[in-house]
Amino acid sequence: MRALSAMISSNLCLYRDKRIVGPVPGVFVGDVFNYRAELLVVGLHNHTQAGIGFVPASLVSEGKPVATSIVSSGGYLDDRDNGDVLLYAGSGGRPRNGGGHHADQEFEGGNLALAYSCKYGVEVRVIRCHVTDASPSGKVYVYDGLYKVDSSTYIPGDSGREVCRFKLVRLPGQDPLGSNTWHAARSLVDDLDAGVRRPGYLTLDLSRGKEAIRVPVCNTVDQDRSPLDDTKYIARPRFPPPRIESRRRCCGYRASASYSKSRCACVKRNGGGGPPYNTDGTLVKGVPMVYECGAQCACPPSCPNRVTQRGMRHRLEVFRSAETEWGVRTLDLIQPGAFICEFSGDVVATGASTDWDGYVDPRKLPPRWKEWGDASMAALPDHEGPPLLAQCPAPAYVLDVSRRRNFAPYICHSGAPNAFIQLVVFGDESESFPHLMVFALETIPPMRDLSIDYGIDQ
């Protein structure tokens, strides 16, 4: 709530006008949010606690309130939900911990607004809440699109009290229900973890044990098997060893230690403002280069400054699509700033020609880290940020992924990506040969394609 207050006071919230009806620009069906406050920030739902968002009568020309959004938490006795049709019990009359009603509801406030939305045909945005360990709040809020309020009734509820019940019907022509996709992804993960090979799956692990988590390959479109047949799988690229004179001593970094007092040479190279990662391993600084501890350091693999070296933490799969051919999608919820994977291939000197699809050229990558840094510090106008990292050398290589690679080169290009490539070096490795590490730019829901801006024209 402190962050929300800071954003409100700094005028950083989008679409604060309560009169916005229908879709919100930039928010798509299936988008996932961790907190109710995020719904308010993007203009999807204008209350942090109430389940019904509405425009007050004073702002409506007819002089009557109209509802614009609801958050359906489920679990209430009088709610019924089959996806496209939602029977929604109004607000009021129930204890804070949910369950049944202990008092009659009334057609007032949000309930009255929903009734007038039914009368005037006002579309309502529906957000469903799901309990999950993948969110820091223990819940996720999934935007499921627009519904019309088909009916409004006042009936005895399952608890014996009178309730305001609304029948909401999903409008046709929208993307599939995000909540259905959420549940389908959970079921798919359970099957894959149990070794069940569903129809269309060519293999349950493209890496053959070389990654920390298995990477399945799915094709339900055609008979293409190229990810299995075309190349040799290598999980890590092999860079030239560092020069002897460049090697530095490092005592390792402890998360419990004060950053300003830390003697860890690797962490200090990340500049001012703190370490690049928080205690959860989330990237919290927008910088051109991240310096992790390396092989010469005394710290263990669990060191908080070795996030990318511990490998994948999210379930991903390579899949065939009629639109993008081969791509990579997540089966898990990925949080902003989370490490996803590393690009791997054969390291080639930059003198080689790179004008074909078999190369990944880090020199062409746009500085998406600047956007990440701006986002993390936007509410802190007095924060100077990391001042020491503007002079990083350009990478001196390209990755040849034509013969040997991992799954990362299958990630599609986009001018509006949901992930970006962060340059990372380990210990005394050369800054001219950084690792290409993929991090999330935003919350990425299950079954959504990963995309990166490769700095190429299409």
Token pair of 403, please? 């013969």
What are the C-alpha distances in Å from 102 to residues 50, 51, 110, 154, 159? 18, 18, 19, 16, 8
Q: What pLDDT sits at residue 383?
A: 45
At 422-436, the pLDDT tens digits run 999 999 899 999 999
Token pair of 103, please? 């008092």
Going 237 to 243 to 244 to 247, the CA torsion angle's sign is negative
The reported pTM is: 0.87
Based on C-alpha coordinates, what's the Rg of the chain? Answer: 25
At 439-456, the pLDDT tens digits run 999 999 999 999 999 998
Superfamily of domain 188-452: SET domain (2.170.270.10)
Q: Is the pLDDT of residue 335 over 50?
A: yes
DSSP notation for 24-66: PTT--TT-EESSHHHHHHHTS-S-SS-SEEEE-GGGSTTSS-E
Start-end of H helices in 291-417: 368-377
Q: What pLDDT sits at residue 103?
A: 79
Q: What pLDDT sits at residue 272?
A: 65
Domain 2-175 annotated CATH 1.10.3720.10: no
- Which helix (H) or strand (E) segment holds residue 85: the answer is strand 85-89
Contact 87, 70 (CB under 8 A): no
Segment of 8-12, 56-60, 290-294, 340-344 carrying the highest mean pLDDT: 340-344
At 1-60, the pLDDT tens digits run 778 888 778 877 788 778 889 999 999 999 999 999 999 999 999 888 889 999 999 999
Q: How confident is the model at residue 379 (pLDDT cuts 50, 70, 90)?
A: very low
Q: What pLDDT sits at residue 371?
A: 82
Q: What pLDDT sits at residue 24?
A: 94
What's the mean per-residue pLDDT of the chain? 87
Q: What pLDDT sits at residue 381?
A: 44
Tell which residue, 341, 94, 318, 118, has the closest CA to residue 212: 341
Residue with the two structure tokens 């699809």: 357
Token pair of 405, please? 């690679």
Arithmetic mean of pLDDT, 88-112:
78
Contact 333, 32 (CB under 8 A): yes
Q: Is the pLDDT of residue 81 over 80?
A: yes
Q: Is the pLDDT of residue 376 over 60?
A: no
Of the chain, the percentage scoring pLDDT greater than 90 comes to 62
Arithmetic mean of pLDDT, 108-129:
96
Residues 348-383, buried b or exposed e (16+ Cβ, 10 A)?
eeeeeebeeeebbbbeebeebbeebbeebbebeeee
Which residues, 6+ apart, have CB-to-CB distance to 440 below 8 Å?
334, 335, 336, 337, 338, 340, 418, 419
Q: How confident is the model at residue 308 (pLDDT cuts 50, 70, 90)?
A: very high
What are the C-alpha distances in Å from 173 to residues 99, 146, 170? 34, 10, 9
At 224-280, the pLDDT tens digits run 999 998 789 999 999 988 765 555 556 555 555 555 556 778 888 887 666 789 889
Q: Is the pLDDT of residue 384 over 50?
A: no
Q: How confident is the model at residue 346 (pLDDT cuts 50, 70, 90)?
A: very high
- Which helix (H) or strand (E) segment holds residue 227: the answer is helix 226-229
At 169-179, the pLDDT tens digits run 999 999 999 99
Among 206-220, 358-372, 443-457, which stretch is predicted with the lowest mean pLDDT?
Answer: 358-372
Token pair of 438, please? 């993929």
Arithmetic mean of pLDDT, 74-89:
82
**Domain residue ranges in the chain:** 2-175, 188-452
Q: How many residues does the chain have?
A: 458
DSSP single-letter state for residue 175? P
Contact 253, 270 (CB under 8 A): no
